Amino acid sequence: MIKFFLMVNKQGQTRLSRYYEHVEINKRTMLEAEVIKNCLSRSKDQCSFVEYKDFKLVYRQYAALFIVVGINETENEMAVYELIHNFVEVLDKYFSRVVSEIEAV
């Protein structure tokens, strides 16, 4: 089950957040800061799956944009990894040139 979905830039600013479980506002900011720090500090050679507290993080980088999904322990990481890519492809179809602009940066 997906717990949350984040879109973050390289500076660590959250551009989009969607939570699928109730999380208090003050805890959201702390959670986002820790998750962003955890994902941004990893190199491109490291795996895109990270165990974090009681759930897993699956993230994917598109140039200056990171998309991070928090999932529970039973969810398939590869399926979520592909979901992220499909989401970006849908954005590309809807808004046109999203992928080319993201990858060009």
Residue 42: CB atoms within 10 Å:
14
CA distances from 68 to 12, 41, 57, 58, 103 (A): 12, 13, 7, 6, 17
Span 31-84, pLDDT tens digits = 999 999 988 888 888 999 999 988 999 999 887 889 999 999 999 999 999 999
Name the CA dihedral angle for 6, 7, 13, 15, rounded to a multiple of 10 degrees.
Answer: -100
pTM value is 0.85
Q: What per-residue confidence (pLDDT) applies to 43?
A: 87
Beta bridge partners of 95: none
- Please report the domains of the chain, with CATH numbers, ordered by start residue: 2-103 (3.30.450.60)
